[in-house]
Each structure stands twice: as structure tokens, then as C-alpha cells.
Amino acid sequence: MELVALYKRVIGLDVHQAQITACALIEESDGTTRREQRQFGGFKRDRRALAEWVASLHPDCVVMESTGIYWKSPYAALEAADIRAQVVNARHVKNVPGRKTDVGDAQWLATLARAGLLRGSFIPPAKLRELRLIARQRQKLVGQLASEKNRLHKVLADSGVRLGVVVSDLHGQSARAMVKALIAGQPSHEVIKLASARLKASREEIFEALQGDLSESHGFVLEELMHHIEEIEARIARFDARLLAGLASERNILALLQTLPGVDLIGAAMLLVEIGPDMEAFGSADRLASWVGICPGNNESAGKRKSGQVRKGNLYVRRLLCEFAHAASRTTSVFKTKFQSLVIRRGYKRAIIATGHKILRTIFFMLKRGEHYRDSTTDYEALSVQRNAPRWIKALTKYGFIAPVGP
């Protein structure tokens, strides 16, 4: 079957770390097709030469495979030359017989693009792509922080100190002060003075939990861990400030996202730099969920449903949605109802993924319509009446619309 050409001038780019193979298919005025192939290096001068060559051909469509992270710098070079390339998923064009070279890859990309058989992935604007670097590195730092906190807990347990048994958060204000005092070598009767009066455990229980055998090695490791934890926390604070400063122009959208249960300011900012504020780029909530990789897999053959495992997608957004789902499942909202209806028969992890899927679909329609979140299980009219009724009655009585009540 011959592919029908929808575009007359297309360019396919096969991107690698040190080489970019380009193939241009140009339809001449007499109906013949001319093929032009070029190879470029991976350095800045080569990317600039690539952009100049592409611009000289005035293409109707430019496509490239999303090969790791190597597509990002050529894409930026083309974008600087006012050329918006389509970044396509390599899964859509692989496993085609006869393509055993980079030249064949680029030519096949151009052939498929010429027939309109490729759909570009979502690529946010340059500003959001830069903020993505900050948001994603912040997620890495949060993971490192959690790892170091767990390690400090284990070292304390190894020394016999069971402070984690009597406090809910070993890194709360008073618990951290007590840990620092232990590291400094202060006796237990002095350390216990740093315990907050709001701790539920009694002073006797806290005193017993502080008893341990801290050796010099324990003290050295604990001190280094505490310094590293505080250093990472300070670094995360700097990342937060830089991220929010970059999104200062999007504060209305950030406020809108925070009306959703389980979403705070930093969570809203990190989500926004990943999916962007314009939902027209995805078209539908289903496509957004598929791009994130949080929707159920669709694998059916001969009328039998097979594995519904989620597909690969944007891991950073999926991690955020799982955090939102954990928080929302503990609120009085429709998401808590969704979670509780699934957790018993489907398990905790599947219930979290399904709740995150529902949250993402809700976010799509909130951003598309520019509307704040309104929970279907909440009677907002009744809440408004309950909050404002005394003031309304006082005003109506004052101006004579209703008679005063009482003597």
C-alpha cells in the first residue's frame, strides 16, 4: 500500500549523542520527490548549522525521535530559528523491517511524517522547560533528604536510642533539638528539658527512650548526617524560592490549583511546569492521562481483558499525583470516597493510582475552564448560610425587615 503524501516538504532527524542524521523529502513542482540527506555533529556549531540547513529548505514538517535527553539541544536550536519540530515517541516508529542504519531511520521518519502518520509529543515552552530542571532536581533532593533521615533513624536505633518510639516525627522541632543535644554529648536529664510540652509521651517514657550507648563512631556519623540533612533542607528552600520566582506570572493558576484537596503551593508549581497551563496541547483528559502514564492499560484480545498495567509516562507527574492522592484520601472530599471504594477490593497501591488518575482529570478541566475546584460531596450553599447567617439576621433586624427576637 502506497502512503499518500499530506506534506510536500518534510525533514526527519535521527538524534544521537554525537551525531544527528537528517533526511529531507522535497516534492518538486513536476511531482517528483527529491531526497536530500545530511549528517551533523553534536556540538553547538553543528546544531547551528543544522538549524540553518533546515530553515533554508522551508519545511512544512520537521520530526525527530525523543532519544533520551539528546533531542533537547537540537530542539532548542531549531526553536531559536523559529522552527517548531515535532518530537515523536520512538515506540511509534521502531521495529520496522529494513531500517538498520541511522540514514534509514531518518528517511523512515520523514516518510511517515510526509504521510501525516506521526503525532508530536507535548513540549512545553522554553521558560517552563528551564523551570523543569529546577523542579526535577528538587524532587531528587527530596528523595536524598528522605534517605538521609531514614539513615539517621537507623543509626540512633543501632546505638540503643529509641526516640522514634515516643515522638511522631523524629525531625520535628523538639525531637531534632534533643538529637542534636545527644550528638553534643549532653546527659539525658539535660536533653529531656528540650522536649516540647505538646508531646503525648510522658517525661518518664521520653527519658527511657533517650537511654542508649552512643559510641564515638555513632556520634561522628550522626553529626555528619545531621549536617547533611540541614544542608539539603537549605538547598531545597533555595530551589523552592527560585521555582516560585520563575512562576510569579502564573500566580492565579497556582492559586486555582491549590483549591484542589491535597495540593499545596510547591506541589502546584511542580505540576504546572510539567504539564503547562494550556490544556489545548493535550486535547482531552484521556490524552493527558495517557501522556502521564497513570491511566489503566488497554490490552484486550478476543474479547478477553489482559493486563491493565499502567504504561510508561512522565514519572515526575505520576509521583506528584500519588502524593496528592495520599493527601486527598485523608480529606473530606470525593477523592476520599473514591479511595475508600477501591482500597478494600483492589489494594492500596491500585487505589492510590486510581485516585491520582481522578485528580489529574479534575485538574485538566479546572485549567481548561479556568474554574476553581468544587467538590460534588460538599453543599457550599449550606456552608455559606452556616457561616453568614448570624450576620445576615443581625443586618435584617437592624433595618427592620424582621422583628427582634427576645425581650
Q: Inform me whether the pLDDT recorded for 303 exceeds 90.
A: no
Q: Is residue 281 part of a domain?
A: yes
308/360 same-domain check: yes
What is the model's pLDDT at position 89? 77
57/99 same-domain check: yes
Q: Is residue 387 part of a domain?
A: no
What is the model's pLDDT at position 261? 92
Q: Residues 213, 159: contact at Cβ < 8 Å?
A: yes
Pick from 54-58, 296-300, 339-343: least confident: 296-300
101/141 same-domain check: no
* Residue 55, domain extent: 9-121
Q: Residues 36, 12: contact at Cβ < 8 Å?
A: no
What is the model's pLDDT at position 99? 54
The residues facing 86 across adjacent strands are: 63
| Beta-strand pair 61-65/304-305 | unpaired
90/197 same-domain check: no
Residue 40 is part of a domain; what is its CATH number?
A: 3.30.420.10
Q: Is residue 386 part of a domain?
A: no
114/57 same-domain check: yes
What's the chain's average pLDDT? Answer: 87
Block residue for cell numbers 477523592: 335
Dihedral angle sign, alpha carbons of residues 129, 130, 131, 137: positive
165/259 same-domain check: no
pTM of the predicted protein model: 0.82
Q: How does residue 163 score in pLDDT terms, banded at 50, 70 and 90?
A: confident
35/49 same-domain check: yes
The stretches of 159-215 forming alpha helices (DSSP H) are 163-166, 173-183, 188-191, 203-209
168/115 same-domain check: no
What is the model's pLDDT at position 309? 67
What is the model's pLDDT at position 129? 92
81/106 same-domain check: yes
Domain boundary among 194, 214, 246: 246
Domain boundary among 204, 222, 246: 246
160/254 same-domain check: no
Tens-digit pLDDT profile for residues 179-224: 999 998 888 888 888 888 888 888 888 888 888 888 899 999 999 9
Q: Is residue 394 part of a domain?
A: no
Structurally, the chain folds into a number of domains equal to 3
115/148 same-domain check: no
Q: Is residue 151 part of a domain?
A: yes
Q: Inform me whether the pLDDT recorded for 277 exceeds 80.
A: yes
Block residue for cell numbers 520496522: 96
80/163 same-domain check: no
